[in-house]
Amino acid sequence: MRSPFRYALAGLAALALLAAGCGSSPSGSSGGTNWSNVTSAAAGGGMSKLIAAAKKEGTLNVIALPPTWANYGTIISDFEKLYGIKVVSALPDGSSQQEVDAVKTENGTAKAPDVLDVGMAVALANTNLFAPYKVATWADIPTAQKDPSGQWVQDYGGYMAVGYSSKFGTITSLSQLLGPKFKNAVALNGNPTAANAALNGVMMASLAEGGSASSIAQGVNFFHQLKVKGNFSPVQATGATVKAGTTPVVFNWDYLNLPSYVGVTNWKVFIPPNAVLGGYYAQAINKDAPHPAAARLWEEFLYSQAPAGGQNLWLDGGARPVEEAAMTANGTINKAAAAKLPPVIGTPVFLTEGQATAAANYLAANWAKAVS
């Protein structure tokens, strides 16, 4: 069995190698390589050449990355410090669709996004905009969570959870939320006919009620029962409403429901057993990125398993990195950060594109009358 300590040292060494050459002159370092067409660091001549080319470009354009979301503030800062590359962050509170819109409207300019972090529906609908690229840790990314050519690769995610004030004691099942002490307390983070996380919140309830990923009907019925009992709150849950106590029970992704994220110390998180609904975002490189080498170096950083690499930095932010299973097996995972995540009991369920579309269609036809 390989020692976790050995792997930690190996991770540090790997990250040191990534940073190697930071003080060397980038002049001529690209060797004439057109990084827009390079599909792996090895194909471009190795990591040192990628680093030199990225440093010569000197800039990386990112978009829709709030600094408080999944630890992106630290991730961006650490990347800048490690490589001396300026990260220009546009529209930090933007949506996945706005990222794609920016790729199209800014195409051919120095302002265009180099990389994207988008929801899977948007990723699958826009593969014609992305460049194929496989990071060094490609083999540790589950097959189902990446495009075979590397046009998109899932990066981090989590599971739908119930965050709630500790004043309610301990919640062990969703059925408890139908009780009288939860009057006007249970909220979603938006309207599920428009907000993806809210849709998944209803789907989690459906799974907990014995339904399947192919039908969200039982989840809609559960929220109808909450409405009948007077326990459903129409208020959109935000950090401000949680802090104010207006929405003391919130359905949302676990990494957006942690006490460290919502900023409330008396906050608990519960993932219903056998209703483990997962969701991951995806990375993609703009095929016309103005800084193609920096874009590829950014991906290498994000998928690095080193202690100070992107996978562990996402974990520090409460998000579950896509390489979590491999890192747990090889000992590179930050065990302290992993231990802070809410426990998961049961086999995770991930909606297919067809299941997500069917759920959206059912909600469009039935949600309003269920909670009106």
Q: pLDDT digit string (tens) for 71-97?
A: 999 999 999 999 999 999 999 988 889
pLDDT of residue 15: 53
For residue 20, is pLDDT > 80?
no
Same-domain check for residues 198 and 107: no
Same-domain check for residues 348 and 210: yes
Instruction: Report the 3 state secondary structure along the chain.
Output: CCCHHHHHHHHHHHHHHHHCCCCCCCCCCCCCCCHHHCCCCHHHCCHHHHHHHHHHHCEEEEECCCCCCCCHHHHHHHHHHHHCCEEEEECCCCCHHHHHHHHHHCCCCCCCCCEEEEEHHHHHHCHHHEECCCCCCHHHCCHHHECCCCCCEEEEEEEEEEEEEHHHCCCCCHHHHHCHHHCCCEEECCCCCCCHHHHHHHHHHHHHCCCCCCCCHHHHHHHHHHHHHCCECCCCCCHHHHHHCCCCEEEEEHHHCCHHHHCCCCEEEECCCCCCEEEEEEEEEECCCCCHHHHHHHHHHHCCCCCCCHHHHHHHCCCEECCHHHHHHHCCCCHHHHHCCCCCCCCCEECCHHHHHHHHHHHHHHHHHHHC
Same-domain check for residues 35 and 50: yes
Same-domain check for residues 65 and 82: yes
Residue range of the domain that includes 171:
158-278+343-371
63 forms beta bridges with 90
Same-domain check for residues 360 and 335: no
Same-domain check for residues 189 and 270: yes
Same-domain check for residues 204 and 64: no
Same-domain check for residues 140 and 164: no
Same-domain check for residues 199 and 96: no
pLDDT of residue 274: 87
pLDDT of residue 19: 52
CATH number (domain holding residue 78): 3.40.190.10
Same-domain check for residues 215 and 350: yes
Domain count, the chain: 2
Same-domain check for residues 166 and 149: no
For residue 9, is pLDDT > 80?
no
Same-domain check for residues 135 and 271: no
Which sign, positive or negative, has the C-alpha torsion 140, 158, 215, 206? positive
- For residue range 28-78, what is the model confidence (pLDDT) as tens digits? 334 589 999 999 999 999 999 999 999 999 999 999 999 988 999 999 999
- For residue range 206-234, what is the model confidence (pLDDT) as tens digits? 999 999 999 999 999 999 999 999 999 99
For residue 26, is pLDDT > 80?
no
- State the pTM of this model: 0.80
